[in-house]
Amino acid sequence: MRIYKTKAIVLDNVSNGFNRNKVVLFTENFGKIILKLTGYGRSPNHWAGVFDAANILGISFTKRGNFYVVTGWELVHFSPDRSIGDFAVKELILEVANEIIPLSDPDSNLFRWLSWSIKNISVSTACVFLARIIYQGGFMDFADSDLRKLLSANFAAFIKEKLPEEVDGIMKKEVSFIEGFTGKDIKSYSLYQETCKKFPIV
Identify whether residues 14 and 63 lie together within a single domain.
Answer: yes
- Residue 32's pLDDT band, with cuts at 50, 70 and 90, is very high
Same domain, 88 and 159: yes
Residue 199's pLDDT band (cuts 50, 70, 90):
low
**Are residues 95 and 70 located together in one domain of the fold?**
no
pLDDT at position 200? 63
Residue at a domain's end among 77, 100, 134: 77
Domain boundary among 77, 107, 130: 77
- Pair (166, 88) in one structural domain: yes
- 23, 122: one domain: no
Assessment of whether the complete model's pTM goes beyond 0.85: yes
Q: How many domains does the structure of the chain reveal? A: 2
Looking at the structure, tell me whether residues 105 and 178 fall in a common domain: yes
Asked whether the beta carbons of 135 and 177 are under 8 A apart, the reply is no
Q: Which of 24, 48, 77 is the last residue of a domain?
A: 77
Which one of 21-25, 26-30, 165-169 scores highest in mean pLDDT? Answer: 26-30
Q: Are 67 and 138 in the same domain? A: no
What's the whole-number average pLDDT of the chain? 90
In tens, the pLDDT along 6-15 reads: 999 999 998 8
Model pLDDT for residues 129-145, shown as the tens digit of each residue: 999 999 998 888 889 99
Question: How far is 88 from 194, CA to CA, in rounded Å?
Answer: 9
The domain of 29 spans 4-77
* CATH number of the domain bearing residue 156: 1.20.1440
Q: Which residue has the higher pLDDT, 81 or 151?
A: 151
Res. 37 pLDDT band, cuts 50 70 90 = confident
